Amino acid sequence: MPKIITSKDVHLSYGPKEALHGISLDFEEHDITALIGPSGCGKSTYLRCLNRMNDLIKGVKITGSMKLEDQDIYAPGTDIVDLRKRVGMVFQQPNPFPFSVYENVAYGLRLAGEKDKHVLDERVETSLKQAAIWDEVKDHLYENALSFSGGQQQRICVARVLAVQPEVVLLDEPTSALDPISSAKIEDTLMNIRDQYTIIIVTHNMQQASRISDKTAFLLNGDLVEFSKTEKMFIHPDDEKTSDYLNGKFG
Amino acid sequence: MDEIKHDLQNPSKATHEDLFGRGITYLCIGFVSLLVISILYFITTRGLATFTTNHVSLWKFLSGTNWNPSLLDKHGNPQIGALPMIVTSFSVTVLAAVVATPFALGVALFMTEIAPERGTKILQPVIELLVGIPSVVYGFIGLSVIVPLIRHSFGGTGFGILAGTLVLFVMVLPTITSLSVDSIKAVPMFYRSASLALGATRWQTIYKVVLRSATPGILTAVIFGMSRAFGEALAVQMVIGNAVLMPHGLLTPSSTLTSQLTTGIGNTTMGTLPNNALWSLALILLLMSLVFNILVRVIGKRGALKK
Ligand SMILES: Nc1ncnc2c1ncn2[C@@H]1O[C@H](COP(=O)(O)OP(=O)(O)OP(=O)(O)O)[C@@H](O)[C@H]1O
Ligand SMILES: [Mg+2]
């Protein structure tokens, strides 16, 4: 399968402190890749490099190369707005805007200048269906998104990202603030959309990684320790540190 | 044994202190409540005396356009039509708020979204300074700078609603700005990141998410500004012209409720119709500030529900 994102020797430092020490990771189209590792190892940091959300943090320095297809993400002329439309992101805390469900999902489309009511209606519906939340919100589309439960809010956020029709969806611990049932629903959502999107998910939940991902990358203290097919990593990890981590010896 | 019994059966030192502290607090609350109630009572009874004792009709008071409480008109009725002052008060208030709000929002956004560090460092003290300047100084500057400027540019005397609006604009600007800053700062960071991550530019994020989420707070800020403008007396009195005439434009001398109160209150005797009429004006002011307060609460509640 063709690679959609390639990154080579990515170093990132927050001020004087280096958080990523040269990470090279490639992602194949329509794969689900899980990023795992103990707290503070740089998973979120790496993920935020992919849609340049780290640009918002002061004093961040990034070297190495990152490409989306064959376009350099960090080339001087890169259109960040366009990049973020192609690489969507779901955050750890459900963060819908304090608007109606409909307005939340239509937000990205309106940004792109879409005004046609039919197109908006249709894309909102499709996205909510893809995110497996349509049945729960279809009679409440004009209610405030914040009046829903955390799990529902998170799926609305997924729908909001899908509405823009990105190629890659980044998820940073999307279920860590949710109960098991809501988490399972988010996982269903991801299984639902895996054929159309490339998904990169950070998770602390090993079962979750093993259930849904095709490949897993294990990061430790800003280094990539191991990257392979999920089954292989969970059954026969190459590195001793990986096996220790998976067996709960640290982290 | 007796000692333990004594300790258990009598309030401890801490309990005494607690009671004492509570006593003092209640005393203070009681005093303040009494003060507020007596002010309300005083203004209401005095303000209503025009209608109860002097038998002026409420409708004539609110809709009449002649104000000359010490003289009777040719039919022998007192001339106390407050409409010109009501119109002028509302005009300067609304105009000042309309003019000040865009500027206040601009400054607030600059201080919060565009250049938080630099903006706050420079503008915060400026705003605090503007708040601290006494109104007589604003009035004085209005009188010696704005009024002549208007006279030279537009003709007329220079006194009037335009001059009042401009002075009030400067006076409400800091109020609206600092309250808007608070409400914009209260918009959670993660709304901004969510918007940016969806491919919004910074401006799109500001006006589609930040300003929209902060709207209840900004409305509250505007109403606080209006309430300040409505109640401001001295500075307005110095530039408005103090002629109780129906305003025919922004440039003719007129009079607000407050300016008429400050001009007239020293020249009347307690209990007479001219004096009671002024109290009626004060009653309108009181009712209006009540309305402003209620508006703020309603908006606050609505905003809270949305979150
Ligand atoms: N905004 C920031 N400023 C400075 N240092 C940061 C910042 N964000 C993260 N770091 C540092 O970078 C390192 C990696 O952080 P990161 O958030 O990427 O870890 P993580 O793997 O996502 O951890 P977690 O599982 O707890 O979310 C940590 O040492 C952290 O302290
Ligand atoms: Mg993280």
pLDDT digits (tens, 9 = 90+) for B220-235: 999 999 999 999 999 9
pLDDT at B76 over 80: no
- Ligand 1 centroid to residue A222 C-alpha, Å: 10
Q: Which two tokens stand for residue A200?
A: 């990169």
- B307 → chain A, closest CA residue: A98
Is the minimum CB–CB distance between B186 and chain A shorter than 8 Å?
Answer: no
Q: Is the CB of B198 less than 8 angstroms away from the CB of A56? A: no
Contact B208 A111 (CB under 8 A): yes
Report CB contact under 8 Å: A91, B190. yes
- What's residue B228's pLDDT? 93
- How many residues are listed for chain A in this entry? 251
- pLDDT computed for residue B305 by the predictor: 53
CB B193 to CB A160 under 8 A?
no
Domain that holds residue A113: 3-246
From the list B188, B193, B306, the residue facing A53 with the nearest CB is B193
pTM metric for this prediction: 0.84
Instruction: Give the per-residue pLDDT at A43.
Output: 95
**Given this model, what pLDDT does residue B118 score?**
87
State which residue of chain B sits closest to A79, comparing Cα positions: B199
What are the tens digits of pLDDT across the range B12-38? 888 888 899 999 999 999 999 999 999
What SS3 state is found at A58? coil
> Does ligand 1 come within 6 angstroms of the Cβ of A54?
no
CA angle, B244 as apex, B239 and B250 as ends, to 5°? 50
The reply to whether A137 falls in a domain is yes
The whole-number pLDDT of residue B304 equals: 62
Asked whether the beta carbons of residue B196 and residue A112 sit closer than 8 angstroms, the reply is no
Q: Is the pLDDT of residue A165 over 80?
A: yes
> Which residues neighbour A165 within 8 Å (Cβ) at sequence distance 6 or greater?
none
The average pLDDT across A198-224 equals 94
Residue pair B91/B161 in contact (Cβ under 8 Å)? The answer is: yes
Domain contains A251: no
User: Which own/partner pairs from A240-248 qualify as long-range (CB within 8 Å, at least 24 positions apart)?
Assistant: A242/A218, A245/A36, A245/A37, A245/A38, A245/A218, A245/A220, A246/A206
pLDDT tens figures, A174-185: 999 888 998 998
B189 has a chain A CB within 8 A of its CB: no
CB-CB contact of A131 with A156 (8 Å): yes
Q: Is A184 on the interface with B (CB under 8 A)?
A: no
Please, what is the average pLDDT of chain B? 91
Mutate to test the interface with A, among B118, B191, B198 (most CBs of A within 10 A): B198
Res B223: pLDDT:
94
Nearest CA-CA distance, residue B109 and chain A, Å: 18
Ligand 1 mutation pick, A44, A48, A201, max ligand atoms within 8 A of CB: A44
Q: Is A161 on the interface with B (CB under 8 A)?
A: yes
Q: Could you give phi then psi for residue B268, rounded to 5 degrees? A: -125, 160
Residue A114 lies in a domain: yes
pLDDT level of residue B71 (50, 70, 90 thresholds): confident
Report the gap between the CA of B215 and the closest CA in chain A (Å).
Answer: 11
The total number of structural domains that make up chain A: 1
Does B307 contact A98 at a Cβ distance shorter than 8 Å?
yes
Q: Give A111-141 pLDDT, tens digit per residue.
A: 989 899 999 999 999 999 999 899 999 999 9
Give the distance from residue B185's alpha carbon to the nearest chain A alpha carbon, in angstroms: 15
ipTM of the complex: 0.91
Confidence (pLDDT) at B299: 86
Indicate the pLDDT class of residue A70, thresholds 50, 70 and 90: confident
- Cβ–Cβ contact A160 with B under 8 A: yes
Average pLDDT over residues B34-63: 91
Phi and psi at B89, nearest 5°, equal -60, -50
CATH number for the domain that contains residue A36: 3.40.50.300
Determine contact: B307 vs chain A, CB below 8 A: yes
Tokens of B112: 């919060």
